[in-house]
Amino acid sequence: MKPLQDLKIVSVEQFGAAPYCTMLLAELGATVIKIENAAIGGDPARKTGPYYLGENDSEYFQSFNSSKKSVALDLRSEEGRKALEGLIARSDVVMNNLRGDLPAKMGLDYPSLSKLKPSIVCVHISAYGRDNERKARPGYDYLMQAESGLMDLTGEPNGPPSRIGAPSMIDQTTGLTAAVGLLAAVLQARSTGKGCDVDVSLFEAALHQLGYVARWYLNEGHVSERQQRSAHFSVAPVQTFPTADGWVFIMCMTDKFWGELVTALGQPELARDERFATAASRQKNRDTITEIVDVEMKKRPSAYWLDKLGSLLPIAPVLDLASALDNPFLKSTEMVRNVPHPAMAGMRVLANPIKINGKRLEQKACSPLGADNAEFLGGSASERERARK
C-alpha cells in the first residue's frame, strides 16, 4: 500500500508546475484526476514536441503526468461544471495552476467550494499570487528566474545572465512547495473538518531559492555576484577544476577536506601555509589556490582523480547530459526504468526519487485524453459527452 492511497485530488492543470506537484503525489499513491479542456485537445503539453507518442500525447507531457487519470470536460458548459463539482464533492483536494484572477471567477477557491464540501482543500499555483496587483498577469518559469535575480547569479562573471540549464526548474520547485502546503492542509482538514486555500506562486518560489544570499543583502547590504568556475560564494576551494580530459567539481567545505586534497596532490605543507590555514584565508586567496590545484589536476584524467579522491573528500565528475544519463550508477540504483506506453512499450523514464521501505514507487503512463470519464463521472454516455462539449 502506498502512503497516499486514500487521497483523492482533482486538478485543473496544464504544462509544468501543478502537473509536477500532482505527479509526485500520484506516484505516492494519490488518485489524481487531471481535468483537461476537451475543446482544445486537453493539456497543451500533449502537443509539445519534438517527440510524440501517437496522437495527442508526447514524451514532454508524460514527463509531468505519470500515474494520473484523465477526465476531459468543458468547464464553460453547465454540464461540465456540474460534472466537476460532482468530482470535487468526492475528493479531498482541488488544485489549479490558472492565472491568479481566475480561480475566484471560476468558483475554484475555498469560499466557493466550502459550500459544497467544508473539508475541501483548494490549492492554487499562479504566476504572481492571487492577492496583489499582478494577479491577472500570466507568467512562466524563465520569467521568474529573470526577475528573482537567479539569472543574474548564473553563469561566468563576464558572460550574460543565464537561466538555470535544467528545464522547468522553477516550475518543479514550485510544484514541490505546493505539495508540502497541500499535504499540510489535508492533515489539518482531516483533523478539524475544515479546509482552506493554499497559495504558491512561481515568483515567490523562485525568490525563495535565493536563500542565504537574500539574507546577506537584506541584512548586510551585500550583493552576491557570479563566481568564476561556479565557485561557492564564501568557501574555498569549492569549484570546478580541469583534469587532463575533462572537469571535476571539488568541495572542500572543511579544513579536513582541504588537508586531504593537498596531501593527495603531494603538497601537504599547504595545509599549514598561513595563506590557506583557515576558511577565511582560503577564500581570500582563492585565485592562488586555483592556480596551484589546476597545475596538479591537469596532470591526470578525471577517472584517476575520482578514484584517488572519492573516498577522501566530496568530488564529482562534470558530465554532459548523455554521460549523466548513461552513468552506470543509475542502473545500479534503478533510477532509470521502463514504463510501458501504448505507443512505446519500452519507454524509459527517470524513477521517482522517493523510496518507501527501500523500494522504488510504481509508475504508469498517464491515461489518454478523457479515457477515464466513464470511471469517474458516471451517468449515461450522452451525459458524459455533453460534459465534454
pLDDT exceeds 80 at position 77: yes
Please check the confidence at residue 43 and state whether its pLDDT lies above 80. Answer: yes
pLDDT tens by residue, 96-111: 999 999 999 999 999 9
Between the two ends of the chain, the Cα-to-Cα distance in Å is 37
Q: What does the alpha-carbon distance between residue 74 and residue 387 come to, in Å, rounded to a whole number?
A: 6
Query: Count of CB atoms within 10 A of residue 99's CB?
Result: 17
Residue 384 binned pLDDT confidence (cut-offs 50, 70, 90): confident
- pLDDT of 253 strictly over 70: yes
Q: Which contacts qualify for 314-319: CB closer than 8 Å, 24 or more apart?
A: 314/250, 314/251, 314/252, 314/253, 314/257, 315/248, 315/249, 315/250, 315/251, 316/248, 316/249, 317/246, 317/247, 317/248, 317/249, 318/240, 318/246, 318/247, 318/248, 318/249
| Predicted local distance difference test score (pLDDT) of residue 47 | 96
What's the rounded mean pLDDT across residues 197-214? 98
Q: What is the rounded distance in angstroms from the CA atom of residue 217 to the CA atom of residue 127?
A: 24
pTM of the model: 0.94
Contact 384, 79 (CB under 8 A): no
Report residue 39's pLDDT band, with 50, 70 and 90 as the boundaries. confident
Radius of gyration of the chain (CA): 25
Question: Count of residues for the chain?
Answer: 389
Burial of 105 (0-12, 13-18, 19+ CB in 10 A): exposed
pLDDT at 378 over 90: no
pLDDT for 56 beyond 80: yes
Q: What is the percent of the chain with per-residue pLDDT over 70, rounded to a whole number?
A: 99
Q: What pLDDT score was predicted for residue 383?
A: 64
Whether 38 shows a pLDDT value over 90: the answer reads no
What domains lie within the chain, and their CATH numbers?
Answer: 8-208+337-388 (3.40.50.10540), 228-242+247-317 (3.30.1540.10)
The answer to whether 71 and 34 are in contact (CB under 8 A) is yes
> Which pLDDT belongs to residue 380?
67
Q: Give CA angle at 319 (313, 321), nearest 5°.
A: 145
Confidence (pLDDT) at 389: 66
Report the chain's mean pLDDT, rounded to a whole number: 96
Q: Using 50, 70 and 90 to split pLDDT, how confident is the model at 240?
A: very high
Average pLDDT over residues 256-281: 96
Average pLDDT for residues 190-208, to the nearest whole number? 98
